[in-house]
Amino acid sequence: MKEEIPLAVSDLTVAYHRKPVIWDVGFELPAGSLIGVVGPNGAGKSTLLKAVMDLTPRASGKVLVYGKTYRENRRRVGYVPQRESVDWDFPVDALDVVTMGLYGEIGWCLPVRRKHRQAAMDALDRVGIADFAKRQISQLSGGQQQRVFLARALVQDADLYLMDEPFAAVDAATERAIIDILGEMKESGKTAVVIHHDLQTVPEYFDYVVLLNMRVVAHGPVEDVFTNDNLQKTYGGRLTLLEEVSEAMRRRERSL
Amino acid sequence: MSIFENWSWALDGWIVAAGVLCAVASALLGNFLVLRRMSMLGDAISHAVLPGLAASFFLTESRNSWPMFVGAVLAGVLTAFFTEWIRGAGKVDEGASMGVVFTSLFALGLIMIVRAADHVDLDPGCVLYGAIEMTPLDLVDIRGFLIPRAVVTLSVVTVINLLFVGLFWKELKISSFDSGLATTVGFSSRLIHYLLMILVAVTAVASFESVGNILVVAMLVVPASAAYMLTDRLLPMIFVSVVLAAISAVTGHLSAIIVPSWFGFESTTTAGMMAVSAGGILFLSIVFSPKSGVLIRFVRQRLLAWQILEEDVVAFLYRIEERKLPIGHDFETLRRELLADFVSMKVVLNRLVSRSQLVVDQGEYKLTDEGRLRAESLVRSHRLWEEYLVSHVGIDADRLHQKAERLEHFTDKDLRERLNHETNAPENDPHGRPIPAERDSPKSDQASTS
C-alpha cells in the first residue's frame, strides 16, 4: 500500500451562531501513528472530529481522508464518540451495540447474520468484556461502556480511527485495554486520532500530537512539539481578540 | 352478564377490531418516538394533519379520500419539518417550537373546517374524538365480504408499519441509539427521521375520522412507555407494547359499555375509554415494573433494611458479650438500642432464630455459634474499616464509628482480605479493641449483601 496521508485538514472553520469554535485549522497527519489531540476545555477538539466526519456543518475548509473526501472514504474511518453522547438506558445489550458497527457493511434492510454477530463477539473478546455481551448496556460500568464503544469501532475494521476522549473517567484495566488496542492498531499500520486530557501520559501513549486551542497551536512528533513553551501557548489563554472580532461581527449584524 | 346481552359481533366486533388495529399500528411506531425522546412530536403531528385535510378539501372541492389523505400527510410531515426549522432558526427549545407549530396549524385547520362545515358534512367534533362507534355502518365490499372501511384502511396501515419496522429494523435501532454513528456508517439519520414522521402522519390520518385523535395520541406514547418499563431489550419492548395496545383497545371498549352503567348512564365514548385503559395499564406498569417499579423498589429497600438490621442485632449481641456489659438481651432492649420499629424487629429476630443464628431462652436472645461467626466477620469488617479510614483516608475519630457502621454491611470476605492487606493485618482497631480473626464459615459468607 502506498503511503497515503490518512487525514489532511486545511483552513477548517466551524462556527456556531457566527462564533467560531475552531478557526483556520490545518494539519496533515502521518500514517501508522497514534496521534493525541490536546487542548483546554472548549478548545473545539470534539468539534474538530465531528467536522471531519460531516456531523457538524463547517463554515469553510477542506478535509481529505486518504486523499478523498470523507463521504467517499467513509468506510475507512471508525469513530468512537464520547460516552455521554448516547442514552445508556436504551434497550439493547453490549453485543447489539458492537454489531451496529457492521450495519453499514450489511447494508440497507438486510438482516444481521451469524457471521456478523460472531465478528462482534470477537471484538468484545479483544477488549476483554466478552462475558458481558448479553448485558443491557446500563448495567455495565463506565469503563466497560467505553470498551463497548471501542469494540464497535474495531469491528468496523477501519484504517483511521477518531476517538473522542476514550480515556475519560475509566478504570485502570480499561485504560490498559485501550492502550493495548492502540498498540495493535499501530502495528497493523492503522492511524488513531485520540482526544486526550491527561497531559502527563501524552508522551507515553502517543507519538504525534496536535495542540489545539481554537486553532492549531502546533502539531508534530511528540518529542519536538510537546514542549512547555507550546503548552503555555495552548493553555495560556484564549484568542481573546478573535473572540472580540466575532462579537463585533454579531453586534454589527444585529444593528443593521 | 348484562354486557353480552347487547353484544353483537357484527357491531362490537368491528369496533374492537378497528380499535385494536389503530392501537397496534400506533404502538409500533410509538416505541421509536419514545426512545428518541420525541413523544410529543406524535401528538403534534396527529393534531396538525387537520389543516391538510381541510386544505385538500378546499382545493379539490370533494370529500374524495385520496387527495385528503395526501394533503393531511403532507401537513403532518411539514409539522416535523417546521419544528426542526424553528428550533434551529428561532433559538427556542424543541418543546416550545413544537408547541408553536402544532397549535398554529391545528387552529388554522379548525378555522378552515368550520368555514367548510357551512357547505358540507365535515364535522369538527367527529375529527377531534372520532366516531369509532360508527365504524360498522360504513362498509365496503371486498371480494364479497362486507368489511367496514375503517378496518380496511387501518389494516393496510398496520401492515405498512409492520413492514417498515421489520425492514428498517437495523436502521431504526442504530439511528435511535446513536444518530451520529448511523450517519457515519451511511444511514442518514435525517432520512430515517422523516420516514418515521411520514408514517406517523399516515397512521394519524388513517385513524383520524374513524377512531379520532385522542386514541392515536395515546397509543403512540402510552403502550411504548409502559413496555419500556417492563423490558430492557428492543424486540421484547415492541412486542409487549403491541400486546398492551391491543389489550387496552379491548378493555377500553368493554369498559365503555360496562363502567357507565355502574353510575346509571348509557355507554360512553369507546375511543376515550381505550385511551383511559392505556393510561391504566401504564399506571400498573409503573407500580409493578420488575426493574424499576415502585413496588419492587419498596420491596428491595425493605429486604435490605431487614438484612442490615439482622446484622446489627448479631453484631450488637457480640459486642455485649465481648465487653460483658450488663445490658439485657430481651426484645425491648434490642429494639430500643437499635432504633428499630416493632414489626421489623419481630421479623428479623424470627428470621435469625429460624436460621439458628440466635436462640431464645425465656425472652432472652443469645448468639449461637453460627450467629457468632456471622457477627465476627461483621465486627472484623467494621474494625478493619476503622483502621483503614484512620490510616488511609484520615477521617476524624468522632465520625469513624458511624462511617464504618455503614460500610461493614457491604463488605465481603474478598474486600476484608484486601482491607487487611492494605492496613498491614492489624490486631487492634484504632480504639484498641481486638479485630476478630477470619474464620471460615461452614456455610456461604452471610455478611455479603451484594
The domain limits of chain B are 9-291, 297-367, 372-449
Q: Work out the end-to-end distance of chain A between its first and last CA atoms, rounded to an integer number of angstroms.
A: 56
Cβ neighbours of B183 in A, within 8 Å: 53-55
Spatial contact of B361 and B387, defined as CB atoms under 8 Å apart = no
| Residue B266 dihedral angles phi and psi, to the nearest 5° | -75, 175
Q: Report how far residue B276's alpha carbon sits from residue B272's, in angstroms, rounded to the nearest whole number.
A: 6
Q: How far apart are CA A151 and CA A128, in angstroms?
A: 10
Cell numbers for A17, please give them: 451562531
The answer to whether B181 contacts chain A (CB < 8 Å) is yes
Among A69, A86, A110, A155, most B C-beta atoms within 10 A, so best to mutate, is A86
Same fold, B9-291 and B297-367: no
Residues of chain A with pLDDT under 70: 1-3, 237-243
As given in the structure block, the three cell numbers for residue B202 are 399516515
- Alpha-carbon gap: A136 to the closest alpha carbon of chain B (Å): 7
CA dist., res. A98 & res. A155, Å (int): 7
Considering only CB atoms, B178 lies closest to which of A86, A111, A136, namely A86
C-alpha B282/C-alpha B272 separation (Å) is 15
Q: Do A106 and B173 touch (CB under 8 A)?
A: no
- The structural domains of chain A, ordered by start, are 7-255 (3.40.50.300)
CATH of domain B372-449: 1.10.10.10
Q: Cα separations (Å) of A209 from A89, A183, A190, B103? A: 35, 16, 16, 52
Report the topology of domain B9-291: ABC transporter involved in vitamin B12 uptake, BtuC (1.10.3470)
List CB contacts of A208: < 8 A, sequence separation 6 or more.
Answer: A29, A30, A33, A34, A35, A36, A219, A220, A221, A222
Q: 10 Å Cβ neighbour count for B408? A: 24
Q: A87 to chain B: nearest residue by CA?
A: B177
d(CA A74, CA B59): 46
What ipTM does this complex have?
0.88
Which of B37, B113, B32 lies closest to B72, judged by CA? B113
Residue of B240, B224, B285 lying closest to B31 (CA atoms): B224
Q: Is the four-CA dihedral A147, B37, A96, B172 of positive or negative sign? A: negative
**In this complex, do B184 and A100 lie within 8 Å of one another by their Cβ atoms?**
no
Closest by Cα among B244, B224, B245, B225 to B19: B245
Contact B293, B285 (CB under 8 A): yes
Contact B48, B180 (CB under 8 A): no
Contact B234 A85 (CB under 8 A): no
Cell of B189: 439519520
Q: How far is CA B107 from CA A196, B57, B101, B295, in A?
A: 52, 16, 10, 43
Contact at 8 Å (CB) between A146 and A122? no
Cα angle for residues A110, A111, A113 (degrees, 5° grid): 125
Q: Shortest Cα distance from A224 to chain B (angstroms)?
A: 34
DSSP state of A156: T
* Alpha-carbon distance A111 to nearest alpha carbon in chain B (angstroms): 7
Nearest residue, CB atoms, B35 vs list A90, A93, A136: A90
Catalogue the long-range contacts made by A202-205 (C-beta closer than 8 Å, 24 or more residues apart): A202/A36, A202/A38, A202/A226, A205/A34, A205/A36, A205/A179
Contacts of A106 in chain B (CB under 8 A): 170
Give B-chain residues touching A112 at CB under 8 angstroms: 170
CA distance A220 to A207: 9
pLDDT at A255: 73
The partner residue sitting opposite B228, judged by closest CB among A77, A91, A93, is A91
Nearest CA to A143 out of A184, A175, A96 is that of A175
CB B185 to CB A85 under 8 A?
no
A93 contacts in chain B (CB < 8 Å): 233
A90 neighbourhood in chain B, CB within 8 Å: 35, 176-177
For residue B173, the chain A residues in CB contact (below 8 A) are: 92, 96, 100
Residue in B with minimal Cα distance to A90: B177
B residues 15-44 lying closer than 8 A (beta carbon) to A? 35, 37
One-letter-per-residue 3-state SS of A174-217: HHHHHHHHHHHHHHCCCEEEEECCCHHHHHHHCCEEEEEECEEE
Q: How far apart are CA A113 and CA A97, in angstroms?
A: 15
**Is the Cβ of A55 closer than 8 Å to some Cβ of chain B?**
yes
Q: Considering the entire predicted model, what is its pTM? A: 0.84
In degrees rounded to 5, what are phi and psi of residue B409? -75, -15
In terms of Cβ atoms closer than 10 Å to its own Cβ (0-12, 13-18, 19+), residue A43 is: buried
Hey, what's the torsion of the CAs at B385, B389, B393, B396, to 10 degrees?
160
Best of A100, A149, A152 to substitute, by most chain B Cβ atoms within 10 angstroms, is A100
Q: What distances in angstroms separate CA B82 from CA B47, B102, B104, B193, B396, one per listed residue?
A: 14, 9, 11, 14, 60
Which of A77, A81, A87 is the closest to B180 by Cβ? A81
- How many C-beta neighbours within 10 Å does residue B74 have? 18
User: Would you state the pLDDT for residue B2?
Assistant: 54
User: Which of B168, B174, B184 is most worth mutating to test chain A (most A CB atoms within 10 A of its CB)?
Assistant: B184
Give the three cell numbers for residue A105: 457493511
Q: Give long-range contacts, CB 8 A cutoff, 24+ apart: A113-121.
A: A119/A155, A120/A95, A120/A151, A120/A155, A121/A95
For domain B297-367, give the fold.
Arc Repressor Mutant, subunit A (1.10.10)
Contact yes or no for B25/B161 (Cβ under 8 A): yes
Interchain pair A92, B173: CB under 8 A? yes
Can you give the pLDDT of all 450 residues of chain B as single tens digits?
455 666 777 788 888 999 999 999 999 999 999 999 888 888 888 888 888 888 887 787 766 678 888 888 898 888 888 888 888 787 788 888 888 888 898 888 888 877 766 665 556 666 666 777 777 877 888 888 888 888 998 999 999 999 999 999 999 999 999 998 998 888 988 899 999 999 999 998 888 767 777 888 899 999 999 999 999 999 999 999 999 999 999 999 898 888 877 887 777 778 888 899 999 999 999 999 887 789 999 999 999 999 999 999 999 999 888 888 888 788 888 888 888 899 999 999 999 999 989 998 888 888 999 999 999 999 999 999 988 888 888 788 788 888 888 888 888 888 888 888 888 888 888 888 888 888 876 554 444 443
Q: Please tell me if residue B171 touches chain A, with a CB cutoff of 8 Å.
A: yes
Torsion-angle region of B330 (φ positive above 0: left; ψ -120 to 50: alpha; else: beta): beta
Distance CA A150, CA A144 (A): 10
With a CB-CB cutoff of 8 Å, which residues 75-104 of chain A face chain B? 77, 79, 81, 85-87, 90-93, 96-97, 100-101, 103-104
d(CA B441, CA B438): 9
Give the number of other CB atoms < 10 A from CB of residue B157: 23
Report phi then psi at B19, rounded to 5. -60, -45
Amino acid at A241: L
- Other beta carbons less than 10 A from residue B103's beta carbon: 13
Looking at chain A, which residue has its C-alpha nearest residue B179?
A86
| CB-nearest partner of A86 from B173, B177, B237 | B177
Q: How far is A249 from chain B (nearest CA, A)?
A: 18
Q: Which chain A residue has the Cα nearest residue B228?
A: A91
Q: Are A128 and A155 in contact (CB under 8 A)?
A: no
CB contact, 8 Å: A113 with chain B? Answer: no
Contact between A79 and B228 using a beta-carbon 8 Å cutoff: no
